[in-house]
Structure 1
Amino acid sequence: MKLVSYRERERDAWRAGLLREGKVKDIAHAYPGAPSTVLGLLEEWANWLPALQTAYEVQDGWDLEHVELGSPLPRPASFRDFYAFEAHVKTARAKRGLPIVPEWYHFPVFYFSNAAAFTGTQANIRRPKATEWLDYELEIACVIGKAGVNIPVERAEEHIAGYCILNDWSARDIQREEVKVGLGPAKGKDFATSMGPWLVTPEELADVRITGEKGSRYDLEMVARINGREYSKGNFKDIHYTFAEMIARASEDCSLYPGDVIGSGTVGTGCILELGTEQYAWLVPGDVVELEVERLGVLRNTICE
C-alpha cells in the first residue's frame, strides 16, 4: 500500500490519499469517518490499517499527474536522523583525516533536525544564501505508526508504518564551521529535508526483506542522479544498524509517537562530500536531483536561488 499527501491547488490543505495504478483515492471520501491527513491516520493506525488494505474502485481517483504530492508527512511530529551506514561514516571522516571513533560501533547515534522544513517530490529547494557547498544525501526513512517507550529491538518493527526516500540536504561549508564548536549540525541542515514520493507499507517489501536477530534489512538498490548523470549507487541491505536498532535506541527513556520520522543516514557514496568535488561539483541553482530507491519510487527536486 502507498500513502500520499496530495492537493489539487497550491493553497489547498494537504489530504491523505491512497495511490494505486497511477490514481490517487482520497481516503476521507472513500472511508467515512477516516481522518483527512496522513498524520491523523497514523494516530489511529491500528483502527484504519485493515480498512485501508481492502480493495476499492481505482477509477474514482485522481490521475497522479493532476495533483501535487507533498511530503507524505508535511510536518512530521519529530525528525531524528541517524548515521547508520558504515561506508559513509568511514569515507566522510576520512575526508577530515579522522578514523571512525570506537563509540560508533557501540550504539546507533542520531541528531534532531527541523521537522517544520519538509518538502515533497517536485518541490524547489532554495539554496541557503551563505552556502557555496550545497549537497544532497541519499537516505531511507521509516515513519512511526505506533507509540512506545523503551521499545525492545525484537518488537521495534511493530511500530513502523512504512518507508520513504529521504534527502537530507546539507550546506557543507556551514556545517564544517559549526562542528568545530562541538554542536550541530544546525544551520548546515535546517533549511530543507525532502521525503517521498509516498509512504510504502512494510508488506509491499516482504519479498526483499532480509531478517536478522536485530531486525530487518531490505535488498533495495539506491541511486542518485544529478541532471540525469548517475552520482551515487548503493543498497539498503548494507546498512550497519537496522531500523529496529534505531527505534530501540531512540525510545530509550523517551516516547516515540505516530508521525515521528527516523532517517537512516546516508548510504555509502550517497553524497558529494564522499565522492569528491574534483569530478562531482556542488549543487547549483537549476540542478535537478533525483533519488531513486527500488520499490519506493523517485524523489525529484530542483535547486533554486
Structure 2
Amino acid sequence: MRLATLRDGTRDGRLAVVRADGARLASAAEVAPTLQAALDRWEELAPRLRALSRDLDEGRLEGAPVEPARLSAPLPRAYEWIDGSAYLNHVRLARRARGAEPPPSLETDPLVYQGGSGVLLGPTDPLRLLDPAFGLDLEGELCAVLGDVPLGASPEAALPLVRLLCLANDVTYRNLVPGELAKGFGFFQSKPATAFAPFAATPDELGAAWRDGRAHLRVRALVDGALLGDCEAGPEMHFSFADLAAHAARTRALTAGTLLGSGTVSNADPSRGALCLAERRMREILESGAARTPFLARGQRVVIEALDAAGRSVFGRVEQEVV
C-alpha cells in the first residue's frame, strides 16, 4: 500500500491512497483525515486503508490523476525528525577528505541528530538558496515513519514498528556546517527544510526488497539531467532502521509519526557516483587535492527517486528547482 497527502489549504492536508501503478489516487478521508491520524490508530485503520487501496487497484474506485504539484510531503509536519548516518562509507570519506580519523565507535554506535520537522517540503516545492555562499547541497536518503516505539525498545521490538518508508532530499547548507559543529552543539542553520517524494509505502509494498530492516532499492540523483549517483541502498546500510530506532529510543520513547532518516545513501564503489555533491567533492579532494564540483546554483534542477528491481519508482520523484 502507498499513501500520499493532498494539499487542501490546511496544515496537514488530506490523506489519499495511491494506485499500484502510481498514476491515480483516491481520498482516504473517510478512513482517516490525515496520515498522522492514521498513524495514531494504525492497527485499527491500516486494514481499512488497505481495503480502499484494493478498491482503487481493482477498478471499483476511479480515483483522480496523480499531480505531484498538488501533493505535499506524506507528513507535511512531523512530531520528530531524527536523522542517522547509517552508510559508513560516507562518514569515512568525509573524515579522510579533511584529514580526520573516524570515531572509534563508528561501527557500533550510530551517529544521529534531531532536525527540524515543523515544515517539510513536498516533491516539487522549490529549493531556496538564501545565499550562494551557504553551499546548497542535496542528499538522497531513505526514511522510515515509525509507530509508537517504547523507551528502551530493542531492534527486534522496533522492527515491526516501521509503519512506512519514504524518500527524502535532506537539504544541507554545507558551508555553514563547520562553524556549527565547531561550537560542539550540532546542526541548526545548516539544515533547512527537508523535501520528500510524494508517496509513502508500507514495507510489504517493497516485497523481497524489504529485508533485515533495510530497503534494497536503487536510489538515483540527477542535477540538470546529468546523473550524479545511482546507489544501492541495501547492502552498505551498516545500521538498519531497526538499529537506528532502538538507538534513538534508548533514553526516550518515540511517538507515532516520528520520521527516521538513513543518512545519505553511499556506496564504496566510486563508479556508483554519489547522492550528494559533498561526497563527489570529497572524492575529488582525495584524488587531486581540490574539489572541482560546485554546490547548487539558482536555476538548477534536482531529481531524486528510488527504483525497485523492476524499475518501478517506489516513492515517486523529488523534482525541485533551486530559486
- The answer, yes or no, to whether TM exceeds 0.5 is yes
Give the Å deviation of 1:11: 6.8
Q: Judge conservation of contact 1:141–1:165 (CA < 8 Å) in 2.
A: yes
> What is the aligned counterpart of 2:219 among 216, 219, 222?
222
Q: Does 1:139 align with 2:141?
A: yes
Structure 1 counterpart of 2:316, one-letter code: G
Corresponding residue of 2:55: 56
Corresponding residue of 1:253: 251
Corresponding residue of 1:72: 74
Question: Secondary structure in 2 aligned to 1:53?
Answer: helix
Corresponding residue of 2:4: 4
Corresponding residue of 1:240: 238
Q: Which has the higher strand share?
A: 1
1:105-120 correspondence to structure 2 within 5 Å:
105-120=107-122
Q: Judge conservation of contact 2:204–2:210 (CA < 8 Å) in 1.
A: no
Give the Å deviation of 1:50: 1.1
Corresponding residue of 1:193: 194
Structure 1 counterpart of 2:14, one-letter code: R
Question: Secondary structure in 2 aligned to 1:105?
Answer: coil
- TM-score, length basis structure 1: 0.91
Give the Å deviation of 1:279: 4.7
Q: Point out where structure 1 has 5 or more consecutive residues left out of the alignment.
A: none
Corresponding residue of 2:260: 262
- TM-score, length basis structure 2: 0.86
User: 1: distance between equivalents of 2:158 and 2:10?
Assistant: 38
How large is the RMSD of aligned CA atoms in angstroms? 1.9
Residue by residue, what CA displacement relative to the aligned partner does 1:213-251 show, whole Å, maximum 9, x if unpaired?
Answer: xxx223211111001101122111110100000011111
Q: Does 1:280 align with 2:293?
A: yes
Corresponding residue of 2:318: 299
Corresponding residue of 2:131: 129
Structure 2 counterpart of 1:284, one-letter code: A
Q: Judge conservation of contact 2:140–2:168 (CA < 8 Å) in 1.
A: yes
Question: Secondary structure in 2 aligned to 1:126?
Answer: coil
Moved beyond 4 Å, runs of 4+ = 10-13
User: 2: distance between equivalents of 1:138 and 1:179?
Assistant: 22
- Which stretch has the larger CA shift, 97-106 or 115-124? 97-106
Give the Å deviation of 1:203: 0.6
User: 2: distance between equivalents of 1:87 and 1:297?
Assistant: 26
Give the Å deviation of 1:27: 0.4
Give the Å deviation of 1:145: 2.4
Residue by residue, what CA displacement relative to the aligned partner does 1:237-283 show, whole Å, maximum 9, x if unpaired?
Answer: 11010000001111112011111000001112321111017453210
Q: Judge conservation of contact 1:178–1:184 (CA < 8 Å) in 2.
A: yes
Q: Judge conservation of contact 1:134–1:172 (CA < 8 Å) in 2.
A: yes
- Which stretch has the larger CA shift, 241-250 or 143-152? 143-152
User: 1: distance between equivalents of 2:131 and 2:293?
Assistant: 21
User: 2: distance between equivalents of 1:263 and 1:148?
Assistant: 19
Q: Judge conservation of contact 1:16–1:37 (CA < 8 Å) in 2.
A: yes
Q: Point out where structure 2 has 5 or more consecutive residues left out of the alignment.
A: 267-273, 285-290, 308-313
Q: Does 1:210 align with 2:211?
A: yes
Question: Secondary structure in 1 aligned to 2:305?
Answer: strand
Give the Å deviation of 1:66: 7.9
Structure 1 counterpart of 2:42, one-letter code: W
Question: Secondary structure in 1 aligned to 2:99?
Answer: coil
Residue by residue, what CA displacement relative to the aligned partner does 1:158-214 show, whole Å, maximum 9, x if unpaired?
Answer: 11111111111111111122112222211001x210112210101111222333xxx
Q: Judge conservation of contact 1:146–1:158 (CA < 8 Å) in 2.
A: no
User: 2: distance between equivalents of 1:170 and 1:70?
Assistant: 20
Structure 1 counterpart of 2:16, one-letter code: G
Question: Secondary structure in 1 aligned to 2:227?
Answer: strand
Corresponding residue of 1:39: 36
Q: Judge conservation of contact 2:149–2:158 (CA < 8 Å) in 1.
A: no
User: 1: distance between equivalents of 2:13 and 2:258?
Assistant: 18
Structure 2 CA distance for partners of 1:131 and 1:113, relative to 1, 3 Å:
farther
User: 2: distance between equivalents of 1:199 and 1:262?
Assistant: 13
Give the Å deviation of 1:12: 8.2
Structure 2 CA distance for partners of 1:49 and 1:69, relative to 1, 3 Å:
same
